[in-house]
Amino acid sequence: MGTTKKMKSALISVFHKDGLEAIVRKLNDLDITIYSTGGTEKFITDMGINVIPVEDLTSYPSILGGRVKTLHPKVFGGILSRRDHEGDIAQLGEYEIPEIDIVIVDLYPFEKTVASDAGEQEIIEKIDIGGISLIRAAAKNFKDVICVSSMKQYDNFLNILSENNGEISLKDRKNFAAKAFAISSHYDTAIFKYMNQDFGDIEFRESFDHANTLRYGENPHQKGYFFGNLDDLFEKLHGKELSYNNLLDVDAAVQLMNEFDPKTSGPTFAILKHNNACGIAQRETLHQAYVDALAGDPVSAFGGVLISNMKIDVPTAEEIHKLFCEVVIAPAYEEEALKILKGKKNRIILIQNEIEFPKTSFRTALNGVLSQEKDTITDDKSMLKQATNLQATDKEVEDLLFASKICKHTKSNTIVLAKNKQLCASGTGQTSRIDALKQAIEKANHFDFDLKGAVMASDAFFPFPDSVEIADLAGITSIIQPGGSIKDQLSIDYCNEHDMSMVFTGTRHFKH
């Protein structure tokens, strides 16, 4: 692509100086003139390398507490001038403006400042003006200028500079320009989201600064990427790289287990496959919770994602090691337990860190994006409205709320059957609620669960009493559902006539 250009001058003004020294020394070795400002100028001077202060170029000092340093025609003229344009070249000569071929600039750490809970004025001062302007100007004029806009690009830039003795191709200049606009757009998105907190203007602006190339997408013929910093959420201890499908299952597992605080729920273990729980149980010990979660569907558990809400101990690890599973997630591991789990070289072992998750979700749809608030409502005892003459017992209420949490994180239409804080079976992703129920009953029977005294959770209301009747005939004694059907009374009447209890939550939990 196009012409290689010999670089003769550079403007350097950076907040982060790690890794900068090698570049400065290389520029000096290549006899490239260096211009700089403020702290960067001092950094270069302290290295014993000649540098021209920008103030000497502009004949204007840094003013307004450093808010205005580089915003001057003698800086931007040298960056934006078209080297093949006679008029531009003439004006450079007329106003004594030197050409600037390299711009090395980064941005104030706006996002880190916001994350640090700093005050508004400190945050506002981290909105970069000069830096972002220099980046955009240099990137726009990539035909003549190269823009290095992040310390992450230092190594690549230094290699190009060294290998080509200070000459840089048009292809490389355009590539760095593309990266520069990615950085500037991400930066502006972060500022918008901060400023918009007080106003809630409906605009879709999302940007993620970390790109991870996956082995492939949902299928081997599809390319796949994850955008985001997984290191914030997980510490990977062992195993192969997470795949696209692994990440979907891991997300489902994490969201489900977030419903079970170990301080209030006790030891809880879940096994997921294709984004749905195939087993989950709460017990006095984590070992027993795992054993009973596996009993929910030992067939589907093969190749699944396993997650615990407590430190995994040796007895639990020994049981897990008998199963082929893709991923194990826990807040911590006993040292010996970790050694056991590492016995399978490809098994992915993750420590989950506590972070704050986004409050909204989005997905592509048609020729746009669907965005919504996340479903953050968890059904609890205070929300329950007794709809039937027979009230649910305390034990049934515990099971109903346990089943409701699972139901919330299962693909619609769904029915969840539970007993003694153990998932007996679920019907997932069915086109009718009655089909979901039949699937759940058939699966529970297949794995020898006694449904007498079990409870049923539904993600949405029952339009007819047929599901309630089928549940009753299977041995289910109590039901939790949102309510809200114009025919709710028919289901209530059936329960009253057959000594079943039913509670309404008033909250639907569709998941598509």
Q: How far apart are CA 376 and CA 172, in angstroms?
A: 46
Q: In whole angstroms, what is the distance from residue 449 CA to residue 444 CA?
A: 5
Pair type for strands 146-148 and 102-105:
parallel
Catalytic choice (238, 274, 342, 438): 274
Give the DSSP H or E segment for 91: helix 86-94
How many residues in the chain? Answer: 512
Of 16, 26, 140, 143, the catalytic one is: 140
- Provide DSSP, 322-373: TS-EEEEEES-B-HHHHHHHTTSTT-EEEEEPP-PPPSEEEEEETTEEEEEE
214-220 long-range contacts (CB < 8 A, ≥24 apart) are 214/241, 214/242, 214/243, 214/244, 214/247, 215/241, 215/243, 215/244, 216/243, 216/244, 217/244, 218/244, 218/245
Q: How far apart are CA 334 and CA 341, in angstroms?
A: 11
Q: Any catalytic annotation for residue 321? A: no
CB 360, CB 340: distance < 8 Å: no
**Rounded to the nearest 5°, which phi and psi values hold at 426?**
-140, 150
Supply the DSSP string of 202-261, one letter for each residue.
-------S-EEE-S-SSSTTS--EEES-HHHHEEEEESSPPPHHHHHHHHHHHHHHTT--
Percentage helix, strand, coil for the chain under 3-state DSSP, each rounded to 5:
40, 20, 40
- Amino acid at residue number 143: K
| Residue showing tokens 């090698």 | 22
Active site residue 171: no
Is the separation of the CB atoms in 260 and 267 below 8 Å? Answer: no
Closest Cα partner for 177 from 148, 212, 139? 139
Beta bridge partners of 281: 269, 422
306/254 Cα distance (integer angstroms): 10
Residues 236 and 242: their CA atoms lie apart, in Å, by 10
Which amino acid makes up residue 332?
A: A
- Peptide linkage before 413 cis (omega within 30 of 0): yes
Among all residues, which ones are annotated catalytic? 140, 274
